[in-house]
Chains A and B, each alone.
Chain A
Amino acid sequence: MREVYVAGIGITSFTRLEYPLVEIAAYPAMMALQDSGLKKVDHVFVANMASGRINHQTGLASAVVDNLSLTPAGAETIENGPASGASAIKAGFMAVASGLHDVVLVTGAERLREVNNLDATDAVATLTHPLAEYIYGVTLPSLAGMFTRLYMKKYGVTSRHLAMVAVKNHDNAMLNPFAHIHQKITLEGIIDSPEAMTNNPMVADPIRFFDCCPVSDGAACLILTTKEVAQKSGHPLVRLAGVGQATDTHAVHDREDPTELLAVRGAAAQAFKMAGVKPSDVDVAELHDAFTILEIVESEEVGFFKKGEGHLALERGETRLGGRIPINTSGGLKAKGHPVGATGVGQAHEIVQQLRGEAGKRQVKDAKTGFTCNFGGFGNNVVCLTFVREG
C-alpha cells in the first residue's frame, strides 16, 4: 500500500449560499487546486447526501468534473448520509494507496437551504428506518433526545454540560472566518437564567435549540496524492495515516445497549491502529457534534476519556483551545455548521490547517497528530480519519 498525502485544501463559508450546488462544490476544488499547484487530477469524488431530493440534481460528480474542466478524469458521487464526506476521503485514500490513481480530488458539497428547515429536517430523517422509525415522525433530533435522556440517567450528564459544549464551540467558531454561526453565547443566556428557557427552547426533550447544529450549505475539498507529488506543493507534509469505518444497527432500538456507540468505537480503533498512534497522541480532533451530547460521547468512544467521563473532562476545560486535547477548534458542526455531505471533508480541512500551522487564532500549538470522527445516521455508519504531520 502506498502512503497517501494531502497536497491541497479548500473550503467555502458554511452558511446559506445562493449559488447552484455544482458551483458550491467546484469553488473549494478550485482553491484546493491552486493550493496544491496542480492543474489536472486523475479522479474526482464528490460527497453529497441529498442533491436528488433537495436540489433536483443527480449524477452530481459528472456535473462537477465538467464544471471544473477536469474531464476526462473519472468521477463518482459518494452518498453515505452525514458521513459522505469522510467516506469520499476514504475512497480517495483507497485509490491512491492502491496505486490506481496518483492524484484524487475529493470535494464534499451540500445545499439544504434551498428548502425550508422542516423539509431539510425531513430529508435528513429519511436516514432513519422507513417502517420502524420514520413513519412515527422520528427525526435525528428525536433520536438524539432519547439517547441524551438515557445518557443523563446512566452517567450524570446534565443540560448544563450540554450547554458547555455549545458555549465552547461557539467561542471557537468566533475565531473561524468560515463558520456559519458567529454568535457569542453564555451559560447564563442559554441555561442559567429565567430568560434562558425562552432563548433556548426545547426541540426534542431534553435537547434544546442550542444543543442542535444549524442546517448549512457549504463545501470543502482535499486533494490526495503520493508523497512525491505532495512534496512539490511546498506545504508542510500532512499524511492521511489511518482510515477506519464501522456500522451499527439501522434502527436505534435494535442496539443491545443504546448508550453505546459501537460504530464510533470500531471506526476510531481502526483509524488509530492503521496510523500506529494512540488516542493520547492526538493533539487536535474534530468530532461530529450534530448534537452537543455527541461530542461528549464520541470523546469517550474514540478513547480520549473513559466511558462516562467525557462530561467531566469538558468541565475541567480539557477540550477547550489550550486544553489537553482541544475538540472542534473549527466550531464543530454546532457552530461551524453542518452541510451534511460536506461535513466530513470540512472536518479534515480543519485538521490539515491545524497540522500545517495555518489555523490562525485557533491554532493548536505544534499540532502533529489530528483526528476526525464523521458520524452517519444516528451512529449506524461512522468513518474516522487520522492525520499526521511529517517533519
Chain B
Amino acid sequence: MEKSILGYKCTKCAQVHYPNRTLCRKCGHNEFTTLPLPKSGKLLTFTHLYTLPADFEVTSIGLGIVELDGGTRITGQLEIEKPEIGMKVRGDVKMVRNDGYNNYYGMVFYRA
C-alpha cells in the first residue's frame, strides 16, 4: 500500500491540522478524524543545510515548507536541483532519517 502522511481533521469545524493537536487551534474541539494528506503542492520557502546532526550520512540536504493542495502545510526534505519559491512540487513518503536504532519516514518533495 502506498504510504501517506496523516492529517487530523476536526470533527466540528473541519480544520485539517498537521501535526496533530489535542485541541483544535481554530475551535478548541477535541475530536479528529485522520485523512491521508495530499502529496502535491506549492513550495513556500526552502534552504540547503550543510551542517547536519551526526547521524546523517550525507553532507547536505534540501529542506522546505510546502503548502499542500487544500492548504495544509508541511515541512519536508527536498530533492530538487534549483528550487524556487512558488514552484509546484510533488511528494513521496520515504525514509528521511536513521538514528542508528530506528528508521523514520516522512515527506520528500520533487519538482512536479
Query: Complex Cα distance A146/B65, Å?
Result: 8
Q: Which residues of B contact A206 (CB under 8 A)?
A: 47
Tell whether B22 is near chain A: CB-to-CB under 8 Å: no
Cβ of B99 to closest chain A Cβ, rounded Å: 9
Interface residues of A in 106-148 (CB under 8 A from B): 116-119, 121-122, 125, 129, 131-133, 135-139, 141-142, 145-147
Cβ of B86 to closest chain A Cβ, rounded Å: 10
Q: Which residues of A contact B85 (CB under 8 A)?
A: 149-150, 153
Tell whether A2 is near chain B: CB-to-CB under 8 Å: no
Query: Complex Cα distance A116/B45, Å?
Result: 30
Query: Complex Cα distance A138/B76, Å?
Result: 9
Main secondary structure of the interface of B (DSSP, over half): strand
Query: Complex Cα distance A147/B55, Å?
Result: 25
Query: Complex Cα distance A131/B96, Å?
Result: 11
Contact A251 B19 (CB under 8 A): yes
Cβ of B78 to closest chain A Cβ, rounded Å: 10
Q: Which residues of A contact B89 (CB under 8 A)?
A: none
Query: Complex Cα distance A196/B49, Å?
Result: 19
Q: Which residues of A contact B96 (CB under 8 A)?
A: 135-137
Tell whether A156 is near chain B: CB-to-CB under 8 Å: no
Query: Complex Cα distance A146/B77, Å?
Result: 12
Query: Complex Cα distance A135/B50, Å?
Result: 16
Q: Which residues of B contact A125 (CB under 8 A)?
A: 53
Tell whether A348 is near chain B: CB-to-CB under 8 Å: no
Cβ of B66 to closest chain A Cβ, rounded Å: 8
Q: Which of A132, A133, A139, A147 contacts B49 (CB 8 A)?
A: A139
Contact B65 A258 (CB under 8 A): yes
Contact A204 B50 (CB under 8 A): yes
Cβ of B11 to closest chain A Cβ, rounded Å: 20
Contact B48 A118 (CB under 8 A): no
Cβ of A203 to closest chain B Cβ, rounded Å: 6
Query: Complex Cα distance A207/B46, Å?
Result: 12
B-contact bits for A179-217, CB 8 A (1 contact / 0 none): 000000000000000000000011111110000000000
Query: Complex Cα distance A202/B60, Å?
Result: 11
Tell whether A254 is near chain B: CB-to-CB under 8 Å: yes
Whose C-beta in chain A lies nearest to the C-beta of B19?
A132
Whose C-beta in chain B lies nearest to the C-beta of A212?
B51
Q: Which residues of A contact B55 (CB under 8 A)?
A: 122
With A132-B74, A252-B75 already in contact, the answer to whether A149 and B45 are too (CB < 8 A) is: yes
Query: Complex Cα distance A150/B44, Å?
Result: 8
A-contact bits for B71-93, CB 8 A (1 contact / 0 none): 00111110000000100000000
Contact A149 B46 (CB under 8 A): yes
Whose C-beta in chain A lies nearest to the C-beta of B18?
A132
Contact B63 A146 (CB under 8 A): yes
Q: Which of B18, B19, B25, B47 contacts A142 (CB 8 A)?
A: B47
Q: Which residues of B contact A119 (CB under 8 A)?
A: 53-54
Contact B47 A204 (CB under 8 A): yes
Tell whether A53 is near chain B: CB-to-CB under 8 Å: no
Cβ of B95 to closest chain A Cβ, rounded Å: 10
Query: Complex Cα distance A132/B106, Å?
Result: 8
B-contact bits for A22-57, CB 8 A (1 contact / 0 none): 000000000000000000000000000000000000
Whose C-beta in chain B lies nearest to the C-beta of A153?
B85
Tell whether B101 is near chain A: CB-to-CB under 8 Å: no
Tell whether A253 is near chain B: CB-to-CB under 8 Å: yes
Cβ of A156 to closest chain B Cβ, rounded Å: 15
Whose C-beta in chain A lies nearest to the C-beta of B102?
A135
Whose C-beta in chain A lies nearest to the C-beta of B108?
A136
Q: Which of B52, B54, B56, B75 contacts A133 (CB 8 A)?
A: B75
Give me the interface of B with A, judged by CB distance under 8 Å: 18-19, 25, 44-56, 61, 63-65, 73-77, 85, 96-97, 104, 106
The 10 closest A-B pairs by CB, nearest first: A145-B47, A122-B53, A135-B104, A132-B19, A253-B73, A205-B48, A118-B54, A146-B45, A142-B49, A253-B65
A136-B77, A202-B50 given. 19 additional CB < 8 A pairs?
A: A119-B54, A122-B53, A132-B74, A135-B97, A136-B75, A137-B56, A137-B61, A137-B63, A138-B63, A141-B51, A145-B49, A146-B63, A146-B65, A149-B47, A150-B45, A150-B85, A203-B50, A258-B44, A258-B45
A selection of 9 A-B contacts at a CB cut-off of 8 Å is: A121-B51, A132-B75, A135-B104, A135-B106, A149-B45, A153-B85, A206-B47, A253-B44, A254-B25
